[in-house]
Amino acid sequence: MVGQPNDQKPRIRLTSLSHGAGCACKLGPAELTEVLRHLPGVGDPRVLVDAATRDDAAVFRLSSDRALVTTVDFFTPIVDNPADWGAIAAANALSDVYAMGGTPLFALNLVGWPRDTVPFEVLGEVLRGAAEVAARARCLVLGGHSIDSTVPLFGMVVVGEVHPDRMLTNAGACNGDALVLTKPLGTGILSTALKRDALLEAGMADAVRSMTTLNEGAARAALEVGVSAATDVTGFGLLNHLTNMLEGSKVAAEISYEALPILPHAWNLASRGIVPGGTQRNLAAADRVEWADDITPIDRLLCVDAQTSGGLLLAVPHERVEPLLAALRAAATPAAAVIGRLTAGPVGNIRVARRL
């Protein structure tokens, strides 16, 4: 129905049905800190990773050589094409498992739907797009849950597995490691432009292609080469996800702005004030960042832009950088770039310079 060339019915603009788009609708880093403060600590020795380190997924040991990796992610429409929205949401949820070095096993759909205003045929297209990406990941979709909602919501619970001794976390990075980012930044700004009619959907093509690309190949390259730490870059933006890695690893970082891969049009749109609220909250939370004098206010927004289905951020020993980049190219991640390095401290601090 929706998205078919011969369909004569007016097309529903999904992005007009909510206040935010994609992962930019998440609670901000400061707000999440307040929420997590109320969670009880976890003392079970089978729990290898929980919310305490703000990693990408929970990891629960089943045996000496098997552990479950579990995550959940859902959000409001980020594009108007329903199949693309479903595909992006699926790739985004699967990314958390890949960021832990895991293999997805199965998924459950999560749906909130305005039953009286948006036809269920549109939901069918969302589910179709998600199913196609899940099939590409060899991840079974076994069911799900739906509710009547005032705004459209879609996402997935994903369950995967990982060897406990081979999992990737955000807490193993070392002083001197290089930082490699595998996808370009700017999806939050572009999706906000689409929502505000400042960008045609055709202008989202590069962003959609990036957001629907699985991080499977990047994770495989990271495991083959041997990285120190990994996380995926999503709603809190590059610098806030990096902060979690720095605090978990007890190091600091230097970032080269000119090395950052950035989607076309993102800087120009941000310069016109087209910036998601999530990105603005991310910038307010980045209070341990030292900005060089020539890093403009627009540059800063790109560094914290709220990403949806972003790339992996990898910390890798210096001698493994070239093998990692070669493995990433072989895994069809051409945007991968060395964007900075880790330093001794102060722990958690980030310095952003025009170039290093």
Cite the active site residues.
Answer: 23
Rounded to whole angstroms, the Cα distance separating 259 from 269 reads: 20
Amino acid at 48: L
> DSSP string spanning 156-179?
EEEEEEE-TTT---SS---TT-EE
Residues 6+ apart with CB under 8 A from 3: 11, 81, 82, 83, 125
Choose among 164, 173, 157, 167: nearest CA to 102: 167
> DSSP string spanning 285-300?
H-TTEEE-TT--HHHH
| Phi, then psi, of 150 in degrees rounded to 5 | -75, -25
CA 290 to chain centre: 24
